[in-house]
Amino acid sequence: MRNLIVILGDQLDMHSAAWADIDPADDAVWMAECASEATHVWSHKARIALFLAAMRHFRDALRERGLTVHYRELDAADDDGLVACLERDLERLKPRKLIVVEPGEWRLRSDFLHLQARLEGRIEVRLREDTHFMCSHDAFDTWMRGRRQPRMEHFYRRLRREYDLLMDGDAPRGGRWNFDHDNRAAFGRDGPPADLPPHRSFAPDTCTRDVLTLVAERFADHPGRLDHFDWPVTRAQALEALEDFIAHRLPRFGRWQDAMWDELPPHRAALYHARLSAALNLKLLDPREVCRAACDALDRGDAPLEAVEGFVRQILGWREYVRGLYWHRMPAHAEDNALDAQAELPAFYWTGDTDMNCLRGCLRDTLDTGYAHHIQRLMVTGLYALLLGVEPRQVHAWYLAIYVDAVEWVELPNVIGMSQWADGGIMASKPYIASGKYIERMSNYCASCRFRPGDTTGPRACPFTVLYWDFLDRHRERFADHPRLKLQVRNLDRRDAQELQQIRRQARKLRDA
């Protein structure tokens, strides 16, 4: 055998750098389902099932194209980890060269670098850069050079120019780079419009059903449910999901990007969000085609500029930016804890068993499907952990386990940097903190909650509100002169001493609980 091409579970891309010089007659592919990849964090059943189902469909598609695929299924003997299994198979298959597209996780990349060193002189190991992304490592590092305070907005503008997306010559289309101010509406009392479209749902075929049975048996004690599993698991399905979003939800995506609503059935719970992150992260979709599809909708007059800009910003801006920051800052990034947070992650994060209605609703959505939209992740589950002062590594382990789209390069910077402000301001200029009043404004969660978002003390005080003031109190010194937080610190100083004592006591109780 000439080359053995390793395809990892999140590299299901027929156009990846792995295939650059493939010769089907002389080369073969290696793929493996390893239990350790599903258990190194306590993964949601749907996350495990999605990876396995998508991998098996990809294997079948490769075989249909005439490629030889050596595929280890989950129940194979000698499952002692991905690289160990590969190393054993190398003894048997004896390729001259091993080709791997760089993994999306620091841990696995280190494993492959060690393998490369061990095999030196015997088998050449080529680690190729992942061309799925629109910004290379070199381009990101060059952009970062000399920037003390990097900002996503500047990075995003650079990529807009480079890819000529939403541009009129050198100027942004519509005269503005950013339509965030038009994109922050809440639904109001009546809730989402009655014609809120359901997302396109994919009924599991035989292959996926086999995986669902396997996961239900093998990972029975893992969190989450499988009975709502309807994720796209092939390239064709991912393209259908993209088309469905562009046609039915993109036009209103921007306006209600930050809104939340409780008690919707699972096929409407994503509201106007794309629900494409898992297909993108598995590489079933290419970010260029996703951005292009949104811009084409604008050109056809099918979606307004503020929606398309808001959406392109997420993919071209945030997605590329967090990936750049991850590789730029790892491995130290995983240890960040700028606010010295040491509390334990509450056990109810794994069960949804809490009387805080917003958390119960977001956790229910998450456990049902492995999905919650961005504001649920940032301003409910993430916010509570931040205000409570949970150790960032525990928050990171939870997010990596619980969402179907979780891969470390995108999950870790979002959690450590954006949501927990553990990097001390590299990712976000200030911590995303808010009291229960924010959740009340953006959702209907508070209407049926036993707590009151405006109460800071007493039996019905909203835990978010109590912890918000307590957070400002605990970090008063750090933020007293912060340009974007000093006003909130001044508001804290207006509270009378007795009330502040009471807030501290209630916050301590919440932490002890």
**Residue 116 · residue 127 · CB < 8 Å:** yes
Residue 451 touches which member of ligand FAD, ligand SF4, none, C-beta under 5-8 Å by kind: ligand SF4
Q: Does 444 bind ligand SF4 (CB under 6 A)?
A: no
Q: What is the CA radius of gyration of the chain?
A: 24
- Footprint of ligand FAD on 391-430 (CB under 6 A): 399, 403, 405-406, 410-411, 414-415, 418-419
Q: Does 453 bind ligand SF4 (CB under 6 A)?
A: yes
For ligand FAD, which is the closer residue by CB, 237 or 414? 414
Residue 317 touches which member of ligand SF4, ligand FAD, none, C-beta under 5-8 Å by kind: none
For ligand FAD, which is the closer residue by CB, 28 or 108? 108
Which tokens in the block code for residue 369? 């499907």
Stretch that binds ligand FAD, among 48-56, 85-93, 220-228, 275-283 (CB under 6 A): 275-283
Q: Does 440 bind ligand SF4 (CB under 6 A)?
A: yes
Q: Does 307 bind ligand FAD (CB under 6 A)?
A: no
Q: Does 373 bind ligand FAD (CB under 6 A)?
A: yes
**Residues sharing a CB contact under 8 Å with residue 459, sequence separation 6 or more, in sequence order:** none
Stretch that binds ligand SF4, among 197-205, 236-244, 400-408, 446-454 (CB under 6 A): 446-454
Q: Measured between alpha carbons, how far is 64 from 58 in angstroms, rounded to an integer? A: 10
Residue 406 touches which member of ligand SF4, ligand FAD, none, C-beta under 5-8 Å by kind: ligand FAD
* DSSP letter for each residue of 266-322: TTTTTTT----HHHHHTTSS-HHHHHHHHHHHHHTTSS-HHHHHHHHIIIIIIIHHH
Which tokens in the block code for residue 40? 């190194």
Burial of 4 (0-12, 13-18, 19+ CB in 10 A): buried
Q: Measured between alpha carbons, how far is 298 from 317 in angstroms, rounded to an integer? A: 18
Q: Which letter, b or e, does each residue of 392-427 get, where b requires 16 or more Cβ atoms within 10 Å of its Cβ?
A: bbbbbbbbbbbbbbbbbbbbbbbbbbbbbbbbeebb
Pair type for strands 171-172 and 167-168 = antiparallel
Which tokens in the block code for residue 383? 């916010």
Q: Does 259 bind ligand FAD (CB under 6 A)?
A: no
3-class secondary structure, 211: helix
The residue from 274, 383, 446, 510 that contacts ligand FAD (CB under 6 A) is 274
Residue 439 touches which member of ligand FAD, ligand SF4, none, C-beta under 5-8 Å by kind: ligand SF4
Strand partners, 6: 30, 100
Q: Measured between alpha carbons, how far is 420 from 431 in angstroms, rounded to an integer? A: 7
Q: Does 436 bind ligand SF4 (CB under 6 A)?
A: yes
Stretch that binds ligand SF4, among 88-96, 150-158, 221-229, 437-445 (CB under 6 A): 437-445
Which tokens in the block code for residue 361? 């609703």
The residue from 46, 378, 401, 485 that contacts ligand FAD (CB under 6 A) is 378
The residue from 245, 421, 463, 471 that contacts ligand SF4 (CB under 6 A) is 463
- Footprint of ligand FAD on 429-458 (CB under 6 A): none
Q: Tell me the H-state helices in 122-166.
A: 137-144, 152-163
Q: Does 112 bind ligand FAD (CB under 6 A)?
A: no
Q: Does 382 bind ligand FAD (CB under 6 A)?
A: yes
Q: Does 358 bind ligand SF4 (CB under 6 A)?
A: yes
Site for ligand SF4, rule CB under 6 A = 356-358, 436, 439-440, 445-446, 449, 451-453, 462-464
Site for ligand FAD, rule CB under 6 A = 270, 273-277, 280-281, 314-315, 318-319, 322, 373-374, 377-378, 382, 399, 403, 405-406, 410-411, 414-415, 418-419
